[in-house]
Structure 1
Amino acid sequence: MSVIKLIVIDNDLYYLNNLTNYITTEYKEMISVVSFSNKEFLLEYVDGGEITDIVLASQEFYDEISEKYTLGKLILLSNNNIENGNVENIYKYQSADKSCKEIIDIYNRKNSVKNKANNESEVITFYSPIGGAGTTTLAIATALKFAQNGNHVLYLNFEKIQSNGIFMPQNYSKYNFSDLIMSIKEGDNEFNEILLEGTIKYDEFNLYYFNPIDSVLDVEDVSLEDIKDLVNNIVNSNKFNYIIIDLPSVLDSKYYYMFDRSADTIVIMGQDTISTYKIDTMLKQLDNISKFKFIINMCNGLKEKKIPKLVSENLLPIISTIQSDDKIKGETDIVKLLSENSIFNNEIIKIVNKIG
């Protein structure tokens, strides 16, 4: 579990000091806490861009925060030990240990996503025939959400111009994705070494990726057999619970294997005529579409959704509709996109629970 970022706001300084001291002593590995007795200082802290998972607020601050601000999962710090079905609350005068356990429980329930307990790697492919549909953003966000839930996840990008470099730091690594591809093409014995030493860990999570390719030719020259060997070797390494594949928008027959090999193929579509036409055209080319699931991304809020004809006729599932949101447009920090108070985060949780 990732560290819970907690804010506590109350004008009772004695209570604040006792709770924060207990957390930093007994729960420092699980909860990172800051406390405020003044609303202005709280807002100044939030305006600095700090990400928050849970805000525990006394009644004096709760109502105004809930009405005017979106800071994280808001919990009432209640003076009364009474269950309130309408407002999630924590009793102020119980033991600090019990309060901490309730905070962790609330966080886990809110962020509960599927965890893969066994060692068998599962391949999930993200694809869209529409350029700029947000495929890479959704693929990386899904990979990170799996990792936040304790899974070991490998993200692979097969685009010629790999846009994952925008979202993932290009930290130093002995090898990059080009090296992994070449080890497959040349049939050498360095594959496992490259897989182990070439992957970069994203932040504190068990999400791993490669730095982008050296040349577009490295991906362009990949054959169907290369793809089969690459994927099967990674699966057989037993290093990852999930392998997330991000394919280019060009419908290349050598990638058909990925559609069949994957537990799920997630297809991203929009709400315009070109999008529906391209989705229908794509589906006509394929023999097996039983594993396809669809996401409507950047939906414009129309009551009547434009659903491609073949999606409707084959009763293919639409597992998420993500509304267009100017607040997150252009955001490249995936951790921020998956913040507690984000509609986008809630949709990614839905996606993760419906795939794999």
Structure 2
Amino acid sequence: MKRFLVIGDSDSLYLENLAGYLMERMDKWELATFTTGDKLLSWLEAGNKPDILLVSGDFPFNRLEELAFGAVRILLSETMEPRGGFKLIKKYQKSETILNEMLLFFAEKKGSAEVLRGNSKTKIAVFYSPAGGCGTSTLALCSAAACAREGMKTLYLNLEEMDSASGLFPGTPGSLSDLFLTLKTKGMNVGIKLAASAGADPESGVYGLNGVESILEYEEIGREEMEQLLGAIRGLADFDAVVVDTSSGFGGRQRGLLEGADLVFTPLHEDERSFVKMKQWLKETHFHEAYNEVFSKMFVVLNQAGAKRGNAAFLEQELFKELKLCTAIAPSPVLADRANLLRSARLYQEVFQPLTAQIRSAGARASQPPAGRGREENGKWN
């Protein structure tokens, strides 16, 4: 179904440039442009009905609100001063941002994420370790930044109760609290709320959003909500890669994430404690056939950074008959600087290539460790 977008602006050069960009990107829309308010009013008085009306500040607002009743009315504003009956979009910014904000307003009014839907085949990677304290958040953040640097549109979601990535996305439009409220409210579209809440880190390009206002909000979020969230992300089809960072428990929330993911990265330190906990977890889950699917997409990442190096004997061969090894991450001062992880991707991108390669190929072929990585050589793992 064709929809009508109407743009009004007395600056003919600005109008021409913006309209040209939007015509290329909005192939399912009809577009009409006006440089004077009188011509636009005459067009509306003739009975034409726009779906979106996008006008600058020198157009006659009162008449436009009356004649374009039912349309999403948006002001291209230079001052961002509120105007009754009109949404606001900053006029002088990237055309892509104007397009995204405009479609978001339209989706919110219609209650449907259809106009926001992209064409990406979203791959979801969950970082989870039953051992805990193995640098899961560091590896998740670095993987997200490495994916973005490789040209993938990437979303990073921290779903730990105690958010260890707090403050890395301070300027996002919304928060996890907003997303959780949508998950618990019938009739609200989770995809729209995610699109409205997430924002990109200006240096790395990684999308994220602020954490919860209170960790008590997690008490109402379980397996069903996580399945709903991952389903909404896939349905949005806007991100190429989604990196989810979760805590080391194994309640309903973690199960929903692990079962709904395309692949699971399990960081372990090369020490006795990590391997003992991993073996305990495997022993427990052997009683439940439902976990076989999780095992099939699970890859161990040996995180040697910050760990007490244990005896190589702890790399027990029996354990790795069940779990696949993706790669090992060597100690690096870059990885110790949490505040700069997102903007330092060029320094560690090659190291994380085995992880980004797995994310790219998830679901496309039988999962195997990348060639030359995670192979046993002379009784040791490289």
Q: What's the TM-score once normalised by structure 2's chain length?
A: 0.56
Q: Report the 3-state secondary structure (helix = DSSP H, G, I; strand = E; otherwise coil) of the residue aligned with 1:255.
A: helix
Structure-1 separation of matches of 2:296 and 2:169:
35
> Could you tell me whether the CA contact under 8 Å between 1:279 and 1:308 is conserved in 2?
no
Tell me if 1:291 matches 2:297. yes
Q: Report the 3-state secondary structure (helix = DSSP H, G, I; strand = E; otherwise coil) of the residue aligned with 2:339.
A: coil
Structure-2 separation of matches of 1:273 and 1:324:
18
Partner of 1:169: 169
Residue 291 and residue 172 in structure 1: after superposition, are their counterparts in 2 closer, same or farther (change >3 A)? closer
Structure-1 separation of matches of 2:120 and 2:335:
35
Residue 215 and residue 282 in structure 1: after superposition, are their counterparts in 2 closer, same or farther (change >3 A)? same
Partner of 1:321: 328
Cα offsets for 1:192-240 (capped at 9, x unmatched): 3321221010124442111011111212321211111111011101111
Partner of 2:357: 353
Structure-2 separation of matches of 1:206 and 1:200:
9
Partner of 1:153: 154
Structure-2 separation of matches of 1:119 and 1:326:
35
Q: Which AA in structure 2 matches 1:306?
A: F
Tell me if 1:246 matches 2:245. yes
Partner of 2:84: none
For the aligned residue pairs, the C-alpha RMSD in angstroms reads 2.4
Partner of 1:202: 201
Partner of 1:15: none
Q: Report the 3-state secondary structure (helix = DSSP H, G, I; strand = E; otherwise coil) of the residue aligned with 2:188.
A: coil
Aligned residues: 234
Q: Report the 3-state secondary structure (helix = DSSP H, G, I; strand = E; otherwise coil) of the residue aligned with 1:188.
A: coil
> Could you tell me whether the CA contact under 8 Å between 1:251 and 1:282 is conserved in 2?
no
1:118 Cα offset (Å): 6.3
Cα offsets for 1:272-331 (capped at 9, x unmatched): 1111011111222333111110011025667836325653232x2211111223564244
Structure-2 separation of matches of 1:233 and 1:331:
30
1:269 Cα offset (Å): 0.2
**Larger relative CO (CA 8 A, sep 6+): 1 or 2?**
1
Tell me if 1:278 matches 2:288. no
Residue 189 and residue 254 in structure 1: after superposition, are their counterparts in 2 closer, same or farther (change >3 A)? closer
Structure-1 separation of matches of 2:183 and 2:252:
19
Q: Which AA in structure 1 matches 2:331?
A: S
Q: Which AA in structure 1 matches 2:197?
A: G
Q: Which AA in structure 1 matches 2:329?
A: I
Partner of 1:129: 130
Structure-2 separation of matches of 1:226 and 1:310:
36
Q: Report the 3-state secondary structure (helix = DSSP H, G, I; strand = E; otherwise coil) of the residue aligned with 1:165.
A: coil
Cα offsets for 1:318-350 (capped at 9, x unmatched): 11111223564244211454234xxx4322122
Cα offsets for 1:240-272 (capped at 9, x unmatched): 112211111112244223222212100000111
Percent of aligned positions that are identical: 21
> Could you tell me whether the CA contact under 8 Å between 1:130 and 1:269 is conserved in 2?
yes
Residue 308 and residue 267 in structure 1: after superposition, are their counterparts in 2 closer, same or farther (change >3 A)? farther
Q: Report the 3-state secondary structure (helix = DSSP H, G, I; strand = E; otherwise coil) of the residue aligned with 1:278.
A: helix
> Could you tell me whether the CA contact under 8 Å between 1:283 and 1:310 is conserved in 2?
no
Q: Report the 3-state secondary structure (helix = DSSP H, G, I; strand = E; otherwise coil) of the residue aligned with 1:346.
A: coil
Cα offsets for 1:162-190 (capped at 9, x unmatched): 11125x231152x2111111101112325
Structure-1 separation of matches of 2:345 and 2:313:
25
Partner of 1:211: 210
Partner of 1:45: none
Cα offsets for 1:61-100 (capped at 9, x unmatched): xxxxxxxxxxxxxxxxxxxxxxxxxxxxxxxxxxxxxxxx
Structure-1 separation of matches of 2:149 and 2:334:
23
1:1-356 alignment runs, 5 A limit:
119-166=120-167, 168-173=168-173, 175-286=174-285, 287-288=291-292, 289-298=295-304, 304=312, 306-307=314-315, 311-314=319-322, 316-326=323-333, 328-335=335-342, 337-340=344-347, 344-355=348-359, 356=362
Q: Which AA in structure 2 matches 1:169?
A: F
Residue 231 and residue 136 in structure 1: after superposition, are their counterparts in 2 closer, same or farther (change >3 A)? same
Residue 123 and residue 326 in structure 1: after superposition, are their counterparts in 2 closer, same or farther (change >3 A)? closer
Q: Which AA in structure 2 matches 1:353?
A: A
Structure-2 separation of matches of 1:334 and 1:238:
26
Residue 312 and residue 146 in structure 1: after superposition, are their counterparts in 2 closer, same or farther (change >3 A)? same
Q: Report the 3-state secondary structure (helix = DSSP H, G, I; strand = E; otherwise coil) of the residue aligned with 1:155.
A: strand
> Could you tell me whether the CA contact under 8 Å between 1:271 and 1:305 is conserved in 2?
no
Residue 191 and residue 337 in structure 1: after superposition, are their counterparts in 2 closer, same or farther (change >3 A)? same
> Could you tell me whether the CA contact under 8 Å between 2:265 and 2:298 is conserved in 1?
yes
Structure-2 separation of matches of 1:277 and 1:119:
39
Structure-1 separation of matches of 2:318 and 2:213:
38
> Could you tell me whether the CA contact under 8 Å between 1:277 and 1:308 is conserved in 2?
no
> Could you tell me whether the CA contact under 8 Å between 1:153 and 1:243 is conserved in 2?
yes
Structure 1 residues not aligned, in runs of 5+: 1-116
Structure-2 separation of matches of 1:159 and 1:184:
17
